[in-house]
Amino acid sequence: MSTLPLPLALSDSPLSDPREAPQPRPLILDLDGTLVRADMLLETVLALLRAAPWRLFEIGLWMLRGRAYLKRRLAEETNIEPEVLPFNEELLAYAADIAASGRPVYVATAADAKVAEKVVRRIAFIRGVIGSDGLRNLKGEAKAQVLAERFPDGFDYAGDARADIPIWRRANNAIVVEAASSVEHAAASVATVARVFPRPSRIRALVRSMRPHQWAKNALVFVPLVLAGLVSHVDAVYATTCAFLALGLVASSTYLVNDIWDLTDDRSHWSKRNRPLASGRLPLATAIAAVPIGLFAGIAVAALAGPATVAVVLLYLAVTLLYSFAVKRIPILDGFVLAGLFTLRLGAGIVASGAPPSPWLLVFAMFLFASLSFAKRHTEVARVIERGGTEVRGRGYKSIDLPLIMGIGMATGVAAVLIMVLYIINDAFRQSFYGNTAWLWAFPAILFLFVCRIWLKCGRSELHDDPVAFAVTDRPSLALGGALMVCFGLAWSGVFG
C-alpha cells in the first residue's frame, strides 16, 4: 500500500499528513466503478494486449505472484489515457461541492496507486491517492483497516461494490454509487447512507451494445430462399430462420468483441464515445462475460440448420474477428472484407435453404455492399476533416484519402448496377421462376437511384455512420426498396404479362 500525493493546482507545497492536525471529516472516493465507470485492472490488461497480444502468457505469470504485483507490473507496462476515461460526472460534481465546503477529498482504490494517480491528476480538489503498491492489494477489509488508521476521526466513503461493505461498516456515512440493489441494502444495514446515485440498467446497455437493429442485415439469408422459389418449403424456411438467428447472435457477440478491442479509440470518437461500453454504462467485465454466451448460443442454433450452416457461421465468425483485430486498419482491404461479410450472409442462406448457388447474386452483393462499406468510411474521414484532424483513429485512412474513397465507392456502386443488367440479359430470361421478366428491368434503375442517393448524402456530409442503418430509416430509400419489392412481385407473378 502506498500514498501518492498529487500535485495541486493551488499549491506546490507537500501535503501534510491528515493525522498531524484536526481537520473536517474527509470524503473518500473509490475509483473503479465509482469515480470512473471503468475497471482499471481490465483496462490495463486490455491496453497491454492491444499493444502486444503475445504477452498474454506473461500476464499469467504476473498473476501467479498476486493481484497487487499484477497491477503494479501492468501500471509500469501500459499508458492509460485518463482524458478519455468515462468519469461519473454526477459524483464528480458532488465531490467538488464537498471540497468547496472545506472538506478534504481523497481517492482510495484497489487499483495500483500509479494508475490511480494518473487518472485523477487533473482533478485539482483531490488531496491524495491511496492505492495498491505491488505488495498489498488494497481491497475490502485491507482498505477498511488502512482508512480507519489514516482517518481515526472518521470519514465518509463512496463505493459501488460488495467489497466496500467492510469499509462502510467503519465509515461515518456511506455514499452508494450505481450499485446493485443487494449492495445498496447491505450498505444501509451497516452504515448511514447519506446519498445514493441510481444505477442505470445494465441489461438495456448490454442489449444496445449487441445492436439488435443490425439484425436487419441478416435478412439477406432469406434472399436465396425467395429467389429459388422455396418459400413454400417448411424445412427450408425453418433452416433459413435458424441461420438468421444464428448469424444475429454471433454478429452481436462480435460487436461486443469489436467494442472491447476498440474501447480507447471509441472514447475519442464523436459518436462512438456514447456507446454503452465506451461511456461506461456497460461494465467491461459484463461485456467480456456475454461474448462466449452469445457465441455458444449462435453456434447451437446454427446446428439446428445442419453442419453446412455451422461451417458458414464459423467462417463468418473467423472473418469478423480477423477484421476486428487487424483488417479494419488496412485501407481498401477493410471495405472489401466488409462486403465479403455481407455476402457470407447470402452464403448462409444458400446452404441453409438448399437453394442453388447463384454466382450473379454473390458478385452483385460484393460490389453493392463494397459501395456501402466505403460510404461508411467516407463519412468517418469527412467527420475527421470537419474537426480539423488528419487521420481516422483506429483506421488506416487519412484526410487526403477522401476523394479516393468516394471514387471507389461510386465505382463499385455503378458496377453493381451493371452486374444487375448483365444478370437480366444473360440469366434472368432463362429462369422459369419468373412469370414476366420485363418487370426486372426496373431493378437497375431503382438500384442506380439508391446508390446515387447514398453518395449524394455522403457528399453533403448528411449520412449517418452506418449507411445500412440510414437506408432503413430514410423515406426515399424505403420507397425505392418498396418499389423494388413490388416489381419483383410483378415479375414473379406474371401480372400484366
pLDDT, one tens digit per residue, over 241-262 is 999 999 999 999 999 999 999 9
Confidence band of 203 (pLDDT split at 50, 70, 90): very high
pLDDT of 461 > 90? The answer is no
Closest CA to 468 of 328, 367, 360, 371: 371
Average pLDDT over residues 292-301: 97
CA 235 remoteness from chain centre: 36
Q: Which three cell numbers stand for residue 61?
A: 505469470
> Mean pLDDT over all residues of the chain?
89
Q: Count CB-CB contacts under 10 A for residue 14.
A: 7
Read off the pLDDT of residues 154-180 as tens digits, 9 standing for 90 and up.
999 999 999 999 999 999 999 999 999
3-state secondary structure of 141: helix
Residue 402 has pLDDT above 70, yes or no: yes
49-79 per-position pLDDT tens digit: 998 999 999 999 999 999 999 999 999 999 8
Tell the residue number behind the cell numbers 487533473, with chain if given.
Answer: 122
What are the beta bridge partners of residue 29? 107, 158
Which 3 state secondary structure label does DSSP give 304? coil
Sorted by where each starts, the structural domains of the chain and their CATH numbers stand as 2-199 (3.40.50.1000), 203-493 (1.10.357.140)
Residues with Cβ < 8 Å from 470, sequence gap 6 or more? 454, 457, 463, 464, 477
Determine the average pLDDT of the residues in 339-356: 93
Question: Cα–Cα distances in Å, from 17 out to 3, 14, 120, 139, 268?
Answer: 10, 9, 19, 22, 38
Cα distances from 266 to residues 32, 134, 142, 337, 445, in angstroms, run 20, 30, 35, 21, 38
| From 7-21, 38-52, 337-351, the region with the lowest mean pLDDT | 7-21
70/45 Cα distance (integer angstroms): 10
Reported as a single tens digit per residue, the pLDDT across 112-124 is: 999 999 999 889 9
Q: Residues near 57 by Cβ (< 8 Å), separated by ≥ 6?
A: none
Beta-bridge mates of residue 174: 157, 193
Q: What is the pLDDT of residue 122?
A: 85
Instruction: In whole angstroms, give the CA distance from residue 177 to residue 328.
Output: 37
Q: Which range has the worst mean pLDDT, 299-303, 305-309, 464-468?
A: 464-468
- Reply yes or no on whether the pLDDT at 153 is more than 50: yes
pLDDT at 103 over 90: yes
The pLDDT of residue 104 is above 90: yes
pLDDT on residue 268: 84
Closest CA to 71 of 29, 32, 121, 28: 32
How much of the chain, in percent, has pLDDT values that exceed 90?
Answer: 70
Whether the pLDDT of residue 287 is over 70: the answer is yes
Whole-structure pTM value:
0.84
Question: How sure is the predictor about 491, in pLDDT bands with cuts at 50, 70 and 90?
Answer: confident
Return all residues near 317 (Cβ < 8 A) that are at least 6 apart.
250, 254, 295
At residue 18, the pLDDT reads 47
Q: For residue 258, give the C-alpha cell.
A: 469489436
- Rounded mean pLDDT, 138-144: 95
Q: Which amino acid type is present at position 360?
A: W
Which has the minimum average pLDDT: 193-197, 227-231, 425-429?
425-429
pLDDT above 70 for 15: no
Amino acid at 12: D
* Over residues 309-333, mean pLDDT: 93
